[in-house]
């Protein structure tokens, strides 16, 4: 996902001199290196200075540029939070704050490097949108949209790192900003997710299909503005809905889906799976940390199977 983003941005930058990348001491992956070599005046490394990263992006945007602030999610959003809020949100500037490794992806680095509350934090800022692609294909679509949009405010762009599998395909609904998207459609059960953990959601959907259910798998790549109508429709059309989310229990997709379910008097069974409201103190693979938070295919199936 990270390399795809860099490749797309590099290609677009050839014809769009507005594109600037401001990084905070992160090694330029893949095509980011080409961008740096070919457009050095548009590639700024602030070093370990994230407040300046956001402020400089604001200044660039105030002068008509399309800047991308780029570093690990905790440092792009948490460290310079007031700059994100005031410089970008309050001024409603078209700056993309890229958060690499959203959720608990940096599984060996510990809690300081987990962005497990990022959706709630970014979502609380007025004017701020949130996009979290589930695979490199969605990352490509989102990056193109971020560059080519004519107007709009800041976007928190949450994605993984490298090596995510492609989950979307030709049968998936087309990617459209702000719209829920079905990767496959069924009648009985819907599994709803976004971001890197969609892989786990997909495996849950597979298992439930093997059980004989007709299963939908939907992704909500735009967390804000949320496709309230799309989620309401999903809740109405299925008997059982399962939300799988790599985020704290507050402020993410799961509680918002519950809210919509209440508002529309939904009659479906609704199960939500999120990270715990805890800092887990363990290390291992991404899957290990998710499991420590109670997120695994087995646990989800054990709960949702009748």
Partner 1 sequence: MTATPGHNSFDPAASRQRCMRYRRRILDISQHVSALHAAGAFSCMELTDTCYHGLMRPDGQDTFLMSKGHGCMAQYVILEDRGVLDRKHLDEYCTAHGILGAHPDYGNPGIEASTGSLGHGMAMAVGMAVAERNKAGGAADAGAVYCVLSDGEVQEGSTWEAFMMGSTLGLTNLVALIDNNDFQSLGRTSETHPSFYPLDEKLEAFGWETATVNGHDAEAVYNAVTNRKGGKPFCLIGRTTKGKGVSYMENVPIWHYRSPNPEEYAQALAELKEIAS
- Binding residues (CB under 8 A) for partner 1: these are 17, 20, 41-42, 44, 46-47, 49, 51-52, 54-65, 67, 82-83, 86-87, 90-91
Q: Which is nearer to partner 1, 67 or 255 (CB)?
A: 67
DSSP string, 122-189: HHTSTT-EEE--SSHHHHHHHHHHHHH-SS---EEEEE--S-PPP---TTSPPP-TT--EEEE--SSE
Count Cβ atoms below 10 Å from residue 138 Cβ, excluding itself: 27
Q: How far is the CB of 127 from partner 1 (least distance, A)?
A: 12
CB of 56 to partner 1, least distance (A): 4
**Judged by CB, which is closer to partner 1: 49, or 264?**
49
Task: Please identify, using beta-carbon distances, which residue of 20 and 181 lies nearer to partner 1.
Answer: 20
Q: How far is the CB of 65 from partner 1 (least distance, A)?
A: 5
Nearer to partner 1, 56 or 235 (CB): 56
- Report CA-CA distances (Å) from 215 to 7, 211, 234, 242, 243: 34, 10, 12, 11, 13
Nearer to partner 1, 86 or 288 (CB): 86
Q: How far is CA 87 from CA 47, 51, 119, in A?
A: 20, 10, 19
Residue 124 or 282 having the CB closest to partner 1: 124
Q: How far is the CB of 2 from partner 1 (least distance, A)?
A: 24
* Smallest separation, CB 61 to partner 1 (Å): 8
Closest CA to 134 of 89, 103, 88: 103
CA-based nearest residue to 226, from 201, 253, 193, 245? 253
């Amino acid at each position: 996902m990270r390399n795809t983003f860099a490749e797309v941005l590099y290609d677009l930058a050839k014809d769009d001199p507005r594109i600037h990348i401001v990084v905070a001491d992160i090694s330029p992956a893949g095509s980011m290196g080409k961008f740096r070599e070919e457009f050095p005046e548009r590639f700024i490394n602030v070093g370990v200075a994230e407040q300046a990263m956001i402020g400089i992006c604001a200044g660039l945007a105030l002068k008509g540029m399309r800047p991308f602030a780029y570093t690990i999610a905790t440092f792009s959003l948490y460290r310079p939070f007031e700059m994100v809020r005031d410089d970008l949100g309050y001024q409603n500037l078209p700056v993309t704050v890229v958060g690499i490794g959203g959720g608990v992806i940096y599984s060996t680095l510990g809690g300081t490097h987990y962005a497990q509350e990022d959706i709630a934090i970014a979502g609380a800022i007025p004017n701020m949108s949130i996009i979290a692609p589930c695979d490199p294909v969605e990352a490509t679509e989102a990056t193109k949209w971020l560059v080519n949009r004519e107007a709009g405010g800041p976007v928190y762009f949450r994605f993984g790192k490298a090596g995510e599998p492609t989950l979307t395909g030709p049968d998936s609904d087309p990617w459209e900003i702000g719209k829920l998207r079905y990767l496959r459609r069924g009648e009985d059960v819907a599994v709803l997710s976004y971001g890197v953990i969609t892989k786990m959601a997909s495996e849950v959907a597979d298992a439930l299909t093997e059980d004989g259910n007709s299963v939908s798998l939907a992704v909500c790549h735009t967390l804000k503005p949320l496709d309230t109508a799309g989620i309401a429709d999903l809740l109405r059309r299925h008997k059982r809905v399962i939300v799988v989310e790599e985020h704290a229990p507050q402020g993410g997709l799961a509680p918002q889906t519950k809210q919509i379910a209440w508002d529309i008097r939904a009659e479906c069974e609704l199960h939500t799976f999120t990270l715990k409201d805890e800092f887990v103190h363990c290390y291992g693979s991404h899957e290990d940390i998710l499991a420590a938070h109670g997120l695994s295919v087995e646990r989800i199936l054990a709960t949702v199977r009748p």
